[in-house]
Amino acid sequence: MPIKIANELPAHKSLESENIFVMTEDRAMSQDIRPLNILILNLMPTKIETETQILRLLSNSPLQVEVELLQVKSHKSKNTSEEHMLKFYKTFDEICEKKYDGLIVTGAPVENLEFEEVDYWDELCMILDWSQKNVYSTFHICWGAQAALYHYYGIPKYPLEEKLFGVFPHKCLDTYHPLMRGIDDTFYVPHSRHTENRRSDIALVKDLQILSYSEQAGVHLLSDMACRKFFATGHSEYDRETLAKEYFRDVNKGLPIKVPYNYFPDNDPNMLPKMCWKGTANLLFTNWLNYFVYQQTPYDLSTL
């Protein structure tokens, strides 16, 4: 799909080098098309890397998408330059009067904190509440999914005995759900987290449906019954070497970390990781955009 992003965003050059059709702002202005307006609330510390990963997946359909990047102003990014944040990111005050076809909320490395201890928790709750009337469909990832499940439904997260780290097999629980169309009976998803949501808690909420599950990684994809909110506990957007970077970072810090499960060939960190989740990742985001954003959202967003 032609994806419209700021001309100078670092992801622009990376995506073009992969032969992904990235539309310049000038060209987009000359087209008489109503693009899908997608807002990305990026809570990850490696913002440029996360931007590129998500934009890559949003580009894999014939739909035209216009993306805006959102930050929380109650937290200052330590790993991304202030210049980048000022140039490419907006705050809630700047977008709160607008409406969007879709919102993606990323993960964040704060899962060992209680939700209320996160310094931007109140602001995040405000954005989630705002999204219910100003965004047609939302897609929450990893800690972003845990935070939304807790905020909307009171579903807690629980600490794991050790970090869930690697690429795990999953099974679809509803093969007829449009989000799962084209996805194999068994598919793989990277996970990197210290906490989990439990199936028993989710089963008590009538408004939620579990769409996929892993015997090792637990609950993976969830949807509300209106198919307006989606939650993913894994990181389908991860690049081939994202888990490797996390592994070597922790090794270099002397932290206790196991080799990511089912990731390096022969479990050898010196080998190039095998990527077995790319097809699923593309289908997941394409299905979300097509069936739950493009085909459902009103043409005139002011009527949302």
Q: Which of 74-83, 108-117, 282-291 has the lowest mean pLDDT?
A: 74-83
pLDDT above 70 for 274: yes
> How many Cβ atoms sit within 10 Å of the Cβ of residue 275?
16
Token couple for 133? 């009337």
- Is 237 annotated as catalytic? yes
pLDDT above 70 for 52: yes
- Is 125 annotated as catalytic? no
Of the candidates 49, 142, 177, 191, the residue annotated as catalytic is 142
Token couple for 172? 């679809």
Whole-model pTM? 0.89
**Between 8 and 149, where is the model more confident?**
149
**DSSP letters for 257-304:** -PPPBTTSGGG-TTSPPP---HHHHHHHHHHIIIIIIITTS-SSGGG-
pLDDT above 50 for 28: no
B/e letters for 75-113, b = 16+ CB within 10 Å, e = fewer, are: bebeebeeebbeebbbebeebeeebbbbbbbbbbbbbee
pLDDT-derived band of residue 256, with 50, 70 and 90 as boundaries?
Answer: confident
- Mean pLDDT in residue range 261-269: 97
Of the candidates 68, 196, 237, 246, the residue annotated as catalytic is 237
132 secondary structure, DSSP code: H
185 secondary structure, DSSP code: S
Dihedral sign (CA 214, 217, 219, 222): negative
- Is 142 annotated as catalytic? yes
% residues pLDDT > 70 (the chain) = 89
- Mean pLDDT in residue range 285-295: 93
The pLDDT tens digits of the residues spanning 154-204 come to 999 999 999 999 999 999 999 999 999 999 999 999 999 999 999 999 999
Residue 211 and residue 145: Cα distance in Å, rounded? 14
